[in-house]
Amino acid sequence: MHRWIMVSLCGIACVLGMGFLFAEVQRHSSEAKQEAAAPALPDAPLNAQAAEAVYKQSCIACHGNDLEGKMGPNLQKVGDKLSAEQLYKVIQNGRGGMPAFKSSLKDEEIANVARWLAEKK
């Protein structure tokens, strides 16, 4: 009798595990499609002063005065981890707890902040 209970519990655990695995694959696939659909980084020169102004207006509450991170992650050396193109997509579409800024900032502003952050190494 115990053997059948253990076999049943193991079977249920396997089915649940496969369900979670399938859901994770689906989530990852949809994120990859969203990233691929995002437009490329607009070609514009870096304006550090304008990027800092946008940062102070839109990002400082979560990432701190000195990019040290508060609710959001530390961005002081984000250029070591992410390229300007990757940062552009993150700022534009959001990620994790970060909201998307594509509806509140112009593409040029997002690109400028992305280039500015990419230089933080």
What total number of domains does the chain contain?
1
Let me know if residue 63 belongs to a domain. yes
Let me know if residue 29 belongs to a domain. no
d(CA 91, CA 114) in angstroms, rounded, equals 8
Residue 14 counted as an annotated binding residue: no
pLDDT given at position 115: 94
Residue 111 · residue 42 · CB < 8 Å? yes
Let me know if residue 6 belongs to a domain. no
pLDDT at 118 over 60: yes
Residue 98 counted as an annotated binding residue: yes
Residue 62 counted as an annotated binding residue: yes
d(CA 92, CA 97) in angstroms, rounded, equals 13
Structural domain boundaries enclosing 87: 48-119
Residue 63 counted as an annotated binding residue: yes
* Predicted TM-score (pTM) of this structure: 0.68
Residue 2 is given by DSSP the state H
Let me know if residue 40 belongs to a domain. no
pLDDT given at position 90: 94
pLDDT given at position 14: 87
Let me know if residue 24 belongs to a domain. no
Let me know if residue 111 belongs to a domain. yes
Which of these, 64, 72, 106, lies nearest to 88 by C-alpha position?
106
Residue 55 · residue 116 · CB < 8 Å? yes
Let me know if residue 80 belongs to a domain. yes
What CATH number has the domain bearing residue 99?
A: 1.10.760.10
Confidence of residue 3 (pLDDT cuts 50, 70, 90): confident
Per-residue exposure over 68-87, b if at least 16 CB sit within 10 Å of its own CB, e if not: eeeebbebbebbeebebeeb
Residue 91 · residue 83 · CB < 8 Å? no
